[in-house]
Homo-oligomer: A and B are copies of this chain.
Amino acid sequence: MEKHEIKKAGLKVTLPRVKILSLLEKHGGHLSAEDVYKLLLGEGEEIGLATVYRVLTQFQTAGLVVRHNFEGGQSVFELDHGDHHDHLVCLRCGRVEEFVDDTIENRQQAIADRHGFTIKDHALVIYGYCGDPNCQKDD
């Protein structure tokens, strides 16, 4: 139940927050603030875009969602299930796939150590063309 998670985050349980959280659960995917806004409109919810941004940022601070800055302007958000993962992004159709690779994770830590860095976060995004025939064909 979403209400519990929102309460745990120290936030009041409001309609916009419940709706946005369940939307993210339903879609699983990687949604921009505007995606969320439009999906809410489609469901007949009159929730302002400013509220969407505000709530997503609060969820991010609370650790409920993660924010990614892929190429192309808009940030995208997804539920944080605690399992860190990296991304493959198709430049043609926008499809996003996830992956985890322990070898890469370990190498990153070793590199940070060598440079005297304390890792707070990291982002690995592979951009390319996905397996779909429409995305593989040349320009």
CB-CB under 8 A from A120, the residues of chain B are 91, 127-129
* A131 with B116: CB separation less than 8 A: yes
In the complex, whether A50 has a CB less than 8 A from a CB of chain B is no
Residues of A in contact with B, size category: 20 to 34
In the complex, which of the residues B107, B119, B129 contacts A103, with contact meaning CB atoms closer than 8 Å? Answer: B107
The oligomer's copy count stands at 2
Could you say which residues of chain B place their CB within 8 Å of the CB of A121?
Answer: 126-128
Closest to A99 in B: B111
Min distance, Cβ A133 to any Cβ of chain B, angstroms:
11
Residues of A near any B CB (own CB < 8 A):
69, 71, 88, 90-91, 97, 99, 101, 103-104, 107-108, 111-112, 115-131, 136
